[in-house]
């Protein structure tokens, strides 16, 4: 009679050893073939377990898995990975994409990292992420030296509209206005509002890369004293 309390194996294998002891106990009374049909294993496996149990006892039923399985990758795939790591200086993620796109080889990142370790290649140096360049804002020494005027299309409540924008390059003070249509009358109305709303004199307007002094068209957008 096989006693389950006699087991002295490591915790990760206890459940499997108990299962194999149950199979052998059933096989001792009904035979390996009947035990294989009942527990859905082959009779050859039951006989192998029985031989190992007779030779080493409970310790013989402990799974004998290799510490590491033999690699099943082709030699050319390993060479591709070595080339990507040493010649292209790619990490696991980029190597995975490169293999898939160039050589139509699909591998997991863990597999690629394991091949890296087997090849003994050095680790990549961590590089700092390049920060986006801050756009240089136009600056003016005095308020009103230059005011940018622009009109663009926007959507308001699913309806088409045009937005006028006029920021000052010194103070960043700006005026916004929405119009249903982009017409000369709407532009003149915005320039008039611009003159009335700015708290300082506007010396120059700039729109569409063209700087227009206000004194050129005093009737339309004259400066404010």
pLDDT tens string 167-198:
888 888 888 888 888 888 888 888 888 888 88
For residue 98, the model assigns a pLDDT of: 93
Bridge partners (DSSP) of residue 166 are 175
Name the phi and psi angles at 160, rounded to 5.
-75, 135
Nearest to 52 by CA among 62, 42, 43: 62
Share the mean pLDDT of the chain: 81
For residue 68, the model assigns a pLDDT of: 61
- Decide if pLDDT at 222 tops 50: no
Eight-class DSSP state of 224: -
Tell me the two tokens of residue 92.
């696991």
Rounded Cα distance, 125 and 197, in Å: 56
Look-up of token digits 């206890």: 14
Helix (H, G, I), strand (E, B) or coil at 205: strand
Rounded Cα distance, 147 and 126, in Å: 45
Look-up of token digits 């206005």: 177
Helix (H) or strand (E) holding 160: strand 159-167
The predicted model scores a pTM of 0.35
For residue 134, the model assigns a pLDDT of: 61
Nearest to 218 by CA among 209, 205, 207, 199: 205
Rounded Cα distance, 114 and 97, in Å: 17
Q: Could you report the per-residue pLDDT of 111-163, keeping only the tens digit for each?
A: 999 899 888 888 787 777 777 766 566 678 888 888 888 888 888 888 888 88
Q: Could you report the per-residue pLDDT of 52-89, keeping only the tens digit for each?
A: 988 888 888 888 776 666 667 888 999 999 999 988 88
Helix (H) or strand (E) holding 28: helix 11-30
């Amino acid at each position: 009679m096989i006693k389950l309390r006699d087991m002295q194996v490591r915790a990760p294998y206890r459940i499997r050893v108990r299962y194999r002891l149950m199979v052998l106990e059933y096989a001792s009374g009904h035979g390996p073939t009947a035990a294989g049909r009942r527990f859905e294993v082959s009779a050859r496996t039951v006989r192998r377990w029985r031989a190992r149990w007779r030779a080493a006892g409970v310790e013989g039923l402990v799974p004998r898995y290799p510490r590491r399985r033999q690699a099943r990758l082709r030699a050319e795939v390993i060479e591709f990975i070595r080339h990507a790591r040493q010649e292209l200086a790619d990490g696991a993620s980029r190597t995975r994409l490169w293999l898939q796109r160039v050589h139509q080889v699909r591998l997991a990142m863990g597999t690629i990292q394991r091949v890296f370790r087997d090849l003994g290649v050095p680790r990549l140096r961590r590089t700092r992420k390049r920060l986006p360049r801050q756009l240089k804002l136009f600056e003016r020494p005095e308020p009103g030296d230059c005011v940018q005027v622009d009109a663009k299309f926007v959507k308001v409540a699913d309806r088409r509209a045009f937005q006028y924008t006029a920021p000052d390059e010194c103070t960043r003070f700006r005026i916004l206005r929405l119009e249903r249509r982009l017409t000369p009358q709407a532009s003149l109305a915005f320039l008039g509002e611009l003159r009335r709303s700015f708290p300082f004199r506007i010396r120059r307007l700039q729109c569409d890369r063209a700087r227009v002094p206000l004194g050129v068209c005093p009737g339309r957008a004259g400066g404010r004293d």
